[in-house]
Amino acid sequence: MKNLFKTVLFAAVGVTMFASCNSKNDFDIEAERARILEQEKIIDAQLSKEKSEVEKYVTEHFDGAGISDTTKVRYSEYQTIRTRGIWYEILKEPTDNKYEYKIDQSGQQLYIVYPKVKINYTVKLLDGTVVESGQEENFNLAQNFPIRTQIWNFSFAPAKIKHNSNEYATDGLTKLGLKQGSKIRVVTPSLWAYGTRVKDKIPVNSPLVYEFEVLTIE
């Protein structure tokens, strides 16, 4: 099975070393790696702190059917592996399974083709305060920032997608992904939501509770 996506921190940070660069004024690769390492340590410490907060919420509010996400966080420099810290429960099974998630291979890389959906959604702080909610029609999961955070992708995508006789692993939480009629509750550490950003009523480093109900999907 091939990996289509991986939960990688600082994946966008690239260090390129050119053979023609020899002076002391050249880009300091080791210094950059050390900087990334320190950032990853901070992120890992925050994930560790929020782990107990998320699990306390699950114990108090889930009905016993909570599922712990097993996908691992892969750091580029920090030699530690941990799970993403996400928990979820299926509130309603899909009423229609016809929609199939597909892969786009039109470019040099493979991507999930995210659907357009009509959804009801609610976002809460762990204390129950509703910070976002609404019904969205023609919601494009490939766009719609800043509403769509990374946890939306994790929640909707299936764990695996078959394409051209190959099976690709994704970062999706559930086996088949969300489909019409699906309703799911997801509790996520802040890293996969707004992280260190402050957004409206959402304080910095806030774990969040998402509920998604898929009315239509195409």
* Tens-binned pLDDT, residue by residue, of the chain (218 aa): 666 666 655 433 333 333 344 444 566 899 999 999 999 999 999 999 999 999 999 999 998 889 999 999 889 999 998 899 999 999 999 999 999 999 988 877 888 888 999 999 999 999 999 999 999 888 888 776 656 889 999 999 999 999 888 899 888 999 999 999 999 999 999 999 999 988 888 999 999 999 999 999 99
| Architecture of the domain spanning 2-12+24-217 | Roll (3.10)
- Whether the bond into 115 is cis, omega within 30 of 0: no
Q: What is the pLDDT of residue 129?
A: 97
**Token pair of 197, please?**
């950003």
pLDDT of residue 111: 85
pTM of the model: 0.86
Which DSSP string corresponds to 120-150?
A: EEEEEETTS-EEEEEEEEEEETTS-TTT--H
**Residue 15's pLDDT is what?**
34
Whether the Cβ atoms of residue 207 and residue 54 lie closer than 8 Å to each other: yes
Q: What is the separation of C-alpha 83 from the centre of its chain, rounded to a whole number of angstroms? A: 12
Collapse the DSSP code of 190 into the 3-class scheme (helix H, G, I; strand E, B; otherwise coil) and give the result: helix
How many other C-beta atoms can be found within 10 angstroms of the C-beta atom of residue 40? Answer: 19
How confident is the model at residue 199, as a pLDDT?
A: 87
Domain ranges of the chain: 2-12+24-217
- DSSP sequence for 42-103: HHHHHHHHHHHHHHHHHHHHS-S--EE--PEEE-SSS--EEE---EEEEEE--SB-----EE
